Amino acid sequence: MPEDSQTIAVENESIEIRCHFIRHRNALLVRGQFTPLYTDHYLHLMQHGLRYPAEADQFLKDGLTALTLHLASRPRNETVAWTLHQQNPPRNFFITGSSVTGAVTGRVFLDGVKEHASNLFYSQTTSEGKEPRVSVVEFEETSAFAAVESFYRQSEQRPARYFCGDDESFAMLSAQPDCDLPWFFGLNDDDIRRIDEVEELSLLETRAYRFDCGCDLERILPAVARLTGATLEELFESGEAIKVECPRCGAKYEVDRKDLPGGNP
C-alpha cells in the first residue's frame, strides 16, 4: 500500500458546471469540462493500486460524468447514489455524489458479484427532511451514458440526452414541460458544440464539483469495529493488521488490531 494512502489529501480541484435554459425550446442544458475531475480520479486509482479492465474503467469514468451533470440539473440539497449491475460479465458500478458537498466518487466491484437475470440500475436520491427516493429499472445499453438515458426514460419519465464535446467536455440536455421534442431528439454532438450560435441560452447558475470520497482511516475503523468477535478473529488470524477497502471508492487502508476498541495496546 502506498505510504501516503493513510494521510489526509489536499482537496482536489473542482470543475465548473454551467446550467442554461434554452429559450423557445424549453430544455435545460448542463455542461462542463471534466479534465481535472478525471485527473484526480486516476491519481486516486494510482495511489491505492487500483486497476480495472479497460471497458470497466471507461464505463466508470462515463458514469462519473453522467452523475455529475445529473446532479447539477437537480436541486442543490440532493445526494444521489447509483449502482449499475452488468450481467455479462457480472460487475457492479457504484457511483455517488452530492450537490451539498460538491463531491463525486465511485468504484467497480469485479469479484463476488451476485448474478441477476438482467442488467439493473439502482438509484437512491436523498435530501434533508424527505424520505429517500428509490428506483430500480432494467437496462440493455453497454455505455454508461446510454444506460442513464434509459433510466431517465423509465424512472424520471422525461427524456435526457448526453453529448460529447471537445477536450473532455460533456453536456446533458433534459426536456422541460412543453419541450420541442422533435428538435430535442434531432440534435447531435456537433449541434451541441455550436448551440450558443443558433439558440438563445440563459445562464441559470454555475456549480462546482470535484472527485472526492472523503473517506479516511478514522471513518473506516467504526465499520470494522462493528463486526462480531468471531468475524474479527477470522480477519486478524494471519496477524495484527488487515487491509480493508472503502466501499464507496475502493481506497485501501491498513487497520491494526490495537486501533480497534478493546484492541491490544
What separation in angstroms does the CA of 43 have from each of 2, 158, 213?
Answer: 12, 36, 13
Give the mean pLDDT of 27-51.
Answer: 97
Gap between the Cα atoms of 244 and 127, Å rounded: 29
What separation in angstroms does the CA of 18 have from each of 32, 81, 118, 188?
Answer: 6, 22, 35, 19
- Position 235 scores a pLDDT of 64
Asked if residue 123 has pLDDT above 80, the reply is: yes
Give the mean pLDDT of 11-31.
Answer: 97
What separation in angstroms does the CA of 72 have from each of 18, 30, 37, 52?
Answer: 8, 7, 15, 27
Domain with CATH 3.55.30.10 in the chain: 9-211
Asked if residue 251 has pLDDT above 70, the reply is: yes
Total-model pTM? 0.90
256 band by pLDDT with thresholds 50, 70 and 90: confident
- Position 21 scores a pLDDT of 98
Gap between the Cα atoms of 91 and 188, Å rounded: 30
Asked if residue 40 has pLDDT above 60, the reply is: yes
244 band by pLDDT with thresholds 50, 70 and 90: confident
61 grid coordinates: 469514468
- Position 184 scores a pLDDT of 98
Q: Are strands 78-86 and 120-127 parallel, antiparallel or unpaired?
A: antiparallel
- Position 254 scores a pLDDT of 85
222 band by pLDDT with thresholds 50, 70 and 90: confident
Q: Does domain 9-211 have CATH number 3.55.30.10?
A: yes
Asked if residue 128 has pLDDT above 70, the reply is: yes
- Per-residue pLDDT reduced to its tens digit, 184-211: 999 999 999 999 999 999 999 999 999 9
- Per-residue pLDDT reduced to its tens digit, 141-156: 999 999 999 999 999 9
Percent of the chain with pLDDT over 70: 88
- Position 262 scores a pLDDT of 56
Start-to-end Cα distance in the chain:
23
Asked if residue 238 has pLDDT above 70, the reply is: no
Q: What angle do CA 42, 125, 9 make, to 5 degrees?
A: 30
Scan for cell 491505492, then name that residue. 48
- Position 230 scores a pLDDT of 63
- Position 59 scores a pLDDT of 98
Judge whether 95 and 63 are in contact, CB under 8 Å: yes
Asked if residue 137 has pLDDT above 90, the reply is: yes
Helix 54-72 to helix 144-151 angle (10° resolution) is 40
